[in-house]
Amino acid sequence: MIVLLVPATPSSFAGSPTFPVLPALGRDPAPAGGWLDAAFGWVAGSVDAAVLAAMQVIVDRIVAPAPEDVARIRRSAAAFLEPEVQRAPEAFLDAVRRDGALRSRETYRGPIADGIRMDRQIDWDASDPMHVEQWLHGDGGARATVVAVHGFGMGSTRRDAYALFAHRWFREGLDVALYTLPLHGTRTPSDARFSGERFAVPDIAAMNRVLRQALHELAALVTMLRAETGAPVGVIGLSMGALLASLLASRDPELDFVVPIAPPVCLGDIAWRFFERSRRRPEIASAALDRDELRASFRVHSPLAYQLRVPRDRVLLVAGRGDRIVPPEHAHALWRHWGEPDMFWFSGSHLAPVGRRSAEDAIARHLRRCGIS
């Protein structure tokens, strides 16, 4: 999740026919399920709400821009509000070219079950190599590889492996590649106070560039693994990782499976929710971006701006009934946009893993339907 506080002003952008706009997110509730699901969802949602309140304090103190910085935020967004970018956001995503084969350095980490763990440093960018922890079966005969992509603020491979069910996939005979997002985990700058802090700086252009970098790294990683193994490769992503998995599904029709878990589809809407609750709103309320402009500024990496290229039967959307970090309307919007692929609702929320096992089993069933496990 990315947090950016922006001020609200009357907009010259809103309603302009020059700009295609993202579909509005409704207020679609999660399916009710049984009374136990509803009860668990309420409890889990309360956990999310409490953490959101704490996060709001941190955002107001650390991330929120000072009034004098708001003009800089407007400048950082300006290029993304241009009509040509709004009409063809894929041009921004495509504006990365890299020639030559990727070089990879492997470091043995130790045994795991019937296989080994390896660290891979892949020189996508010499100043910031891609980091992947791979779990490989000893016989080299895995039926497929799961590329697992964590969310904002994560990046510890142990916690990421738990959150993305990596041990389950490995036990079922699949290799696992735990990808670390830029500015997270081992890629966290030395002066950052926590994993992902530099990812959340109030600079729209910088955020968009980092997300584009992550998308291209993932695409390169999938291509590399496909060539190395000759076996199926798919992506399971959580939260911000789910957004990237969803974007990759709009670019690589050969993905063998795609499982976005709690996917945010409009970061502008999420950032706006923080602004509305901010205690600092009065002091910055006279400056630059309104909600429509903010949504448009991040449109270049919204899955709602692109068409699904992976066959729908390879897709499973997963969302939590009690999610208050990425509310259910995000998953609903992507489900509709993608032509209503399979979807599974578990009882928990973004941060409370109630019903975690049911989600894990649903993903396992989906992989079996895809001929993977």
Region 69-93: mean pLDDT is 84
Region 75-94: mean pLDDT is 88
pLDDT exceeds 60 at position 363: yes
Task: Give 110-137 pLDDT, tens digit per residue.
Answer: 998 889 999 999 987 778 899 999 999 9
Mean pLDDT (the chain, rounded): 82
Helix H segments across the chain? 35-58, 70-78, 83-87, 90-94, 157-163, 166-171, 204-229, 240-249, 267-277, 281-284, 291-297, 328-337, 356-369
Region 65-84: mean pLDDT is 76
Would you call 101 exposed, middle or buried from its count of C-beta atoms within 10 A (0-12, 13-18, 19+)?
Answer: exposed
Question: Which one of 190-194, 310-314, 368-372 scores highest in mean pLDDT?
Answer: 310-314
What is the band of 354 on the pLDDT scale with cuts at 50, 70, 90?
Answer: confident
Which of the residue ranges 92-101, 216-225, 239-248 would you say has the lowest mean pLDDT? 92-101
pLDDT for 13 equals 36
pLDDT for 183 equals 94
Region 154-170: mean pLDDT is 94
Query: ∠ CA 275-278-283 to the nearest 5 degrees?
Result: 95
pLDDT for 273 equals 72
Three-class SS of 10-39: CCCCCCCCCCCCCCCCCCCCCCCCCHHHHH
pLDDT exceeds 60 at position 42: no
The pTM of this model reads 0.86
What is the band of 266 on the pLDDT scale with cuts at 50, 70, 90?
Answer: confident
Distance between CA atoms of 186 and 179, rounded to whole angstroms? 11
Region 225-237: mean pLDDT is 95
Calculate the alpha carbon distances from 272 to 2, 18, 142, 291 in Å: 11, 23, 44, 6
Region 277-281: mean pLDDT is 57
Task: Name which residue leads in pLDDT, 270 or 368.
Answer: 368
Task: Give 317-343 pLDDT, tens digit per residue.
Answer: 999 888 778 888 899 999 999 999 999
Domains present along the chain, CATH in parentheses = 35-95+106-369 (3.40.50.1820)
Residues linked to residue 234 through DSSP beta bridges, in sequence order: 146
What is the band of 66 on the pLDDT scale with cuts at 50, 70, 90?
Answer: low
